[in-house]
Structure 1
Amino acid sequence: MTKEVIVIGAGIIGASIAWHLSRAGALVTVIADSGAGGVATPNSFAWINASWGNPETYFRLRVRAMAEWKRLAKDLPGLPLAWCGGLCFDLPADRLEAYAAEHSAWGYGIERVGREQAALIEPNLAELPDFAMYVAEEGVAEPVAAAKALLGDAERRGARIVTGTVGALAISGDRVTGVVVSGEAIAADEVVVAAGAGVPAIAATAGIKLPIETPPGLIVHSRPYEKLLNGLVLGDRLHMRQTAEGRIIAGSDFGGGDPGVDATATARDLFAATKAMLRGAEGLELDFHTVGYRPTPIDGFPIIGRAEGVDGLYIAVTHSGVTLAPAVGLFATREILDGERDALLAPYGLGRFAQ
């Protein structure tokens, strides 16, 4: 029997889940109150990596997700990805060494580089570090374009895209049976809530409390410019990269920093620091800044899986959305359609917060 699944959210996580479900033969309806790309995804630094904040279990999930991006690129040619590498020097030398030693022991391809090597990797940096780490296998996605590509192909496979706001989950007994959009019920065998910062409010309509914070992150975007950066640069209080269309985007960390009380003034200061970090940037101009609200479970790790005590409901929310998207899409599809939960998701169910 073909399963009917509603996916709430058109960001990179929702788009990946919808695409994987459609490819596996499910009848998919995507519901979102914004266009393809959602709300958080357009404001993402879009770094694909397995670098930071990792116990080894989370590192393994992220490494698998990096591999799934490569698989996804083969399955969907033209996906906007670049395996450009990342040059990192945003920690004191002792902490950078400890990070490198730990991740190298886990098999991550970290190379220690000095000033001369850093200059070869990123020749347009005005201030070169004496010591840095370089991971050639890290990359970036253009997240909105990637989400649009996934949703477009899902539509070609029969998925339906509905613009609207989910007011509540439809419930019968202890089972979610669909959603209510503008007062109209839409039925499904399973509902996936992948609406980023909107997940807690939707889940609450089924009596499920999700411990999620939504810290703001400011990122500046230049106007398109000549090529200045080869890859990711993760410097002291300044992370930056150049997009496929030539925009330099930067934040005080990869998720964007605190915008403060005057986001426009903070953006001007950040952009000035970005220009000062680059040679040949005299003509670089600030185009706009964004403030994204990052859906972040309180322990920093994803919530991926079915809600306990409520049938027919699957939750997918994480701050590491761009990195994890293809793995989450694949694993969620297997769990929803076949009941198979991947071992890499074992630590990341909602039940961990009940303790």
Structure 2
Amino acid sequence: MTKRVIVIGSGIIGASIAYHLAKGGAEVTVIEADEPGGLATRASWAWINASWGNPEPYFRLRLASIAHWHKMQSEIPQLAINWCGGLIWDIPPAELDAYAAERAQWGQPLRKVGRGEIHVIEPNLTTVPDYGYFAPGEGMLEPLATTKVLLDAARALGAEVLAETPVKWLAEEHGRVVGVMTDVGVIHADETVVAAGTRTDHLLDSVGVTFKMSSPAGLLSHSKPAPKLLNGLVMTPGLHVRQTAEGRIVAGTDFAGADPEGNAEGLAQDLQAKVEAMVQGAEGLGLDFLTVGYRPTPADGFSAIGRPHSKNGLYLVVTHSGVTLAAALGLFAATELLSGTRDPLLATFSPDRPTLT
């Protein structure tokens, strides 16, 4: 019998889950309170990486997701992922060396690059250190465009996407979640997946499930479009930059973006000034706009995937590293929902771990 599944949230995580569920034969309905694409996704720096995030189980999960992004690209030709690699020297040299040694031990060697090679990789950088590290297997994507491609791929497999349809609460009968309450009444399903970002804890609370999370703000500056000035991702102390497909240089104090601290415009202008000082050819480019995203983050900082409190009919996926992890978490969630098989890489990412309940 075909399983009916509701996915709450159409950001990159929800879109990936919907695609994999539809591919697996489920009858899928994606429900989004706003426009398709989600909110946090639109404001992501959009770095696909395994060179950030400890401990080792989190690294392994991220590495698996990079591999699955490549597989998805072969399945969905419209996915435009730029596997450009990234330059890293955003922590002190001794810490950076120890970090690289740890990654090499785990099977993801970072290449040590001197000043000359840094200039070969990114010839327009005005100031570079004596050495840094290059992560060749990493990439970037355009988050909203990628999410829309995934939603279109899910639709092509029969999924329905309901935009501007806020979920008021989760519908429950006899202790089992049976769907969602909306302005038009209850929409029923065999399984309900909460991939609702910052609204996750509110929705879970409606069925008596406690989940501890935070939603830190992250500001990014977006320059006016320019000819190609950067080849890939550049992570320096206090400034992470990349150039989008349409030519904008997107910058944050780190990949998550800076805390706007009540002065969003001033901080964005400061970031843009640093970009123009760091990238030759960007002088006078100017700030076009800024974004402030609120990152859905489990209380201990690591992904939460599975059935909270073993609640029948309910499945949860919430993580900060949505762009990196969307490919793997979409596959793993769909597999568990449709076959009951939980991937071993999820062993430490239960939503019921003590730090979250």
Shared fold by TM > 0.5?
A: yes
In 2, Cα distance between the equivalents of 1:309 and 1:54? 27
Match of 2:149 in 1: 149
In 2, Cα distance between the equivalents of 1:80 and 1:181? 34
In 2, Cα distance between the equivalents of 1:10 and 1:44? 14
Aligned partners of 1:109 and 1:136 also within 8 Å: no
In 2, Cα distance between the equivalents of 1:183 and 1:101? 56
- After superposition, the C-alpha distances for 1:18-65 in whole angstroms (9 at most, x for unaligned) are 000001110000000122210000100110001123111111111000
Aligned partners of 1:305 and 1:314 also within 8 Å: yes
Match of 2:117 in 1: 117
2:97 maps to 1:93: no
Aligned partners of 1:229 and 1:241 also within 8 Å: yes
Match of 2:249 in 1: 248
In 2, Cα distance between the equivalents of 1:169 and 1:136? 43
Query: Which one-letter code corresponds to 2:204 in the other structure?
Result: A
Match of 2:263 in 1: 262
> How far off its partner does 1:183 sit?
5.0
Match of 2:42 in 1: 42
In 2, Cα distance between the equivalents of 1:184 and 1:241? 44
Query: Which one-letter code corresponds to 1:110 in the other structure?
Result: L
Match of 1:299 in 2: 300
Match of 1:82 in 2: 82
CA RMSD of aligned residues (A): 1.0
In 2, Cα distance between the equivalents of 1:120 and 1:334? 43
In 2, Cα distance between the equivalents of 1:135 and 1:126? 21
2:145 maps to 1:126: no
- After superposition, the C-alpha distances for 1:201-227 in whole angstroms (9 at most, x for unaligned) are 111111111111000000001111110
Matches within 5 A, 1:1-355: 1-163=1-163, 164-353=165-354
Query: Which one-letter code corresponds to 2:221 in the other structure?
Result: V
How many residues in Structure 1 have an aligned counterpart in Structure 2?
A: 355
Q: TM-score, normalised by structure 1?
A: 0.98
> How far off its partner does 1:130 sit?
1.1
Secondary structure of residue in 2 paired with 1:347: coil
- After superposition, the C-alpha distances for 1:50-92 in whole angstroms (9 at most, x for unaligned) are 1123111111111000000000000000202000000001010
Secondary structure of residue in 2 paired with 1:290: strand
- Structure 2 unaligned runs (5+)? none
Secondary structure of residue in 2 paired with 1:289: strand
> How far off its partner does 1:309 sit?
3.8
Aligned partners of 1:47 and 1:323 also within 8 Å: yes
> How far off its partner does 1:283 sit?
3.9
In 2, Cα distance between the equivalents of 1:277 and 1:209? 45
Query: Which one-letter code corresponds to 1:119 in the other structure?
Result: H
- After superposition, the C-alpha distances for 1:220-277 in whole angstroms (9 at most, x for unaligned) are 0111111010000000100000011111000000010111121111111111111111
Runs of 4+ in 1 over 4 A off after TM superposition: none
In 2, Cα distance between the equivalents of 1:221 and 1:54? 29
In 1, Cα distance between the equivalents of 2:36 and 2:97? 40
Secondary structure of residue in 1 paired with 2:352: helix
In 2, Cα distance between the equivalents of 1:210 and 1:191? 16
Aligned partners of 1:109 and 1:137 also within 8 Å: no
Query: Which one-letter code corresponds to 1:304 in the other structure?
Result: I
Q: TM-score, normalised by structure 2?
A: 0.98
Secondary structure of residue in 2 paired with 1:308: helix
In 2, Cα distance between the equivalents of 1:8 and 1:157? 18
